[in-house]
Every structure is written in structure tokens, then in C-alpha cells.
Amino acid sequence: MELAGQLIARRGGLYKLSRTPAHELMAGLPGMGPAARVAAAFQLERRAAPAEVQSRQYVRGSADLARIAAPLLTGLRHERVVVVVCDTAGALLRKATLTEGAVHCSLLPVRDVLALVLATGGTALGVAHNHPTGRVEPSEPDRHAISRLATGAEAIGLRFLDHVVVTDREWRRVETTSG
């Protein structure tokens, strides 16, 4: 308990501690052999589904997409792209990490996204990615990439639901660019 209190104080709070990589935790204090357990506990909490997730989930709008994707996107120090695959009614069939990127960018390969949706048997898809900087504003490359994806999905008969940027505290819908 004493070590936990020291860790929380040294990192400036529980939230900041949860974002600290294990190797930084181990370098900080003597007796940090359990640092990997601390990091693993935060990762497990991040991925653990709340009780309502055990029942069928639906994507009926941007907020649903953000809520479903957030556990795979928050607390990271690099960008990640998540694809949410749904059936015709918008029921969640699968959510999957597609790519991992750098601190400031991540790839959105149209072919890989569409292949994942088709392999899952989905008819609709949504995409979410995080901005580890905490800035929720989508970039011009975000808008362009999602326009290409929406066009590709339409071309093969899939319904493109939405694209959202998720940070640790909020989310925002990405408007597509024309062309």
C-alpha cells in the first residue's frame, strides 16, 4: 500500500499512473518488481467490458461507435485504429484493432478494413482512432482517409456508419472531405 501511494504521488495521480509504461514504473522506485502487475491491472481494467457489454450492442450513431471503441483506444501513447463491424441492423459482430501507429499518426488501409468486414460477414462498419495528444480535432489526413474508405465501402455494397476520434476524455465525429 505504501509503494502504491508513492507511485500515485510521484506520477501526479491515478490517471497519470495508468498511462505510465511499465518500464518507466520499474525505473522509478526500489521494489518495483510488481510494476508489470500494476501496468497489467490498468490494461485489464481498460479492456474489461462492463456488465451491459455482455448483452448485444448496437451502433445507432456516433456516440455508440465511440463508446464501443473507447476501451481499445484510451490510455495509449500512440495512435491506434479500431474497426467496428456490424450486421444490417447495426448489431456489433466484432471490434478489432487494425493498425498501431506513431505518437501522431496511424494508417488506415482501405483494403485491409474492407477485407476484415467481409471476412467477418458484416454489412456495416465504423472506424475509430485515438489521438494520444488529447486533441479531439480530426486532421485533414483523417478526413481524406475516411472519405476514401467510405467510397470503397459503398463500391462493394457495405454501409459506412461513421468515423470518430477518441481521446481519454472526449470524442468527435470526423466529417469526410469531398473527392
pTM reported for the whole predicted model: 0.68
DSSP 3-state assignment of 99?
Answer: strand
State which CATH number among 3.40.140.10, 3.40.50.300, 1.10.287.990, 3.40.50.720 fits the domain covering 51-173. Answer: 3.40.140.10
Q: Where are the domains of the chain?
A: 2-47, 51-173
pLDDT 10s per residue in the chain (179 long)?
676 777 778 777 777 777 777 667 666 566 656 655 666 566 556 555 454 444 789 999 999 999 999 999 999 988 999 999 999 999 999 999 998 876 555 678 899 999 999 999 999 999 999 998 899 998 888 888 899 999 999 999 999 999 999 999 999 999 876 54
pLDDT at 120: 93
pLDDT at 86: 97
pLDDT at 48: 52
User: 80-86 and 159-166: which strand pairing?
Assistant: unpaired
Query: What angle is formed at CA 22 by the lines to CA 21 and CA 25, rounded to 5 degrees?
Result: 95
Strands of the sheet with 92-100, listed across from one edge: 92-100, 80-86, 124-130, 159-166, 171-173
Strand partners, 141: none
pLDDT at 141: 86
For residue 129, give the nearest of 113, 107, 109 by alpha carbon: 107
pLDDT at 175: 84
Q: Which amino acid is at 134?
A: G
- Is the torsion defined by CA of 24, 27, 30, 33 positive or negative? positive
- Is the torsion defined by CA of 11, 82, 119, 49 positive or negative? positive
Is 151:144 a contact under the CB 8 Å cutoff? no
